[in-house]
Amino acid sequence: MIKVVLLDVDNTLMDFHECARQAMYLTAEELGISFPADIFEVFTEINNGLWLDIEKGILTVDELHQIRWGKIFAAVGIERDGVEFEQGFLKNLAQGSATVEGAKELLEYLASKYTLCVASNAPYSQQTSRLFNAGLLDYFEKLFISETIGFSKPQKEFFDACMEELPGVEKEEIIMIGDSLTADIAGAAAYGIKTCWFNYGKASAEKAAMADYMVNTLSEIQAIL
């Protein structure tokens, strides 16, 4: 019987794409930078690659903050200080409040039945700020965030730290819900935790094979839990 639900944040509960889009354009306006039309696609490709490196343990979040916008600017031919832009971007990103459709309704439903815990790789202050702004923070009893744990999903040590904070709970009594097949689903599955893949990007259903469950909308989770 499930007792604890671990929930990823970005593109599971919070709409990272929309929050990032708003933050980048606001920062560009503040710094007087003009972006090409394809800037968000370039950001997404480079950002996703960097986060995969974090999941593999070959890059840290701090290192990402030092190089992310420098790489993006180089790719689109903008000669500006990437670190300066990153600082403004993170400040504005932390103020985001855009959620994935059905996020609050899902948390209301789950909170009446289970212990809810955040399981995220992004910076602590950023995640808590955005969850608070969206009115979602109070649904969670524990916040498992890589910055404070010292390890990232999908590392075993990340899930070890979660278990240490859940005394009396067995692996079979936990389910991980998230959009990342690599960080959320593969990591939790390898640890022996049940998984529910939120197919946020509407990828091929063939990729759902490693997950115990797959949903295309958050509302579908109520039929599972």
Report percent pLDDT > 90 for the chain.
92
Domain residue limits, the chain = 4-14+101-223, 16-93
The string of pLDDT tens digits covering residues 101-120 is 999 999 999 999 999 999 99
Helix (H) or strand (E) holding 129: helix 124-133
Question: Residue 180 burial by CB count (10 A; 0-12/13-18/19+): exposed, middle or buried?
Answer: buried
- Distance separating alpha carbons of residues 130 and 33, to the nearest angstrom: 25
- Distance separating alpha carbons of residues 219 and 169, to the nearest angstrom: 26
The string of pLDDT tens digits covering residues 170-179 is 999 999 999 9
The string of pLDDT tens digits covering residues 211-225 is 999 999 999 999 999
Question: Residue 14 burial by CB count (10 A; 0-12/13-18/19+): exposed, middle or buried?
Answer: buried
| CATH fold for domain 16-93 | DNA polymerase; domain 1 (1.10.150)
The string of pLDDT tens digits covering residues 3-50 is 999 999 999 999 999 999 999 999 999 999 999 999 999 999 999 999
- Residue (of 163, 9, 162) closest to 96 by Cα position: 9
- Distance separating alpha carbons of residues 17 and 211, to the nearest angstrom: 24
Specify the CATH number of the domain 4-14+101-223.
Answer: 3.40.50.1000
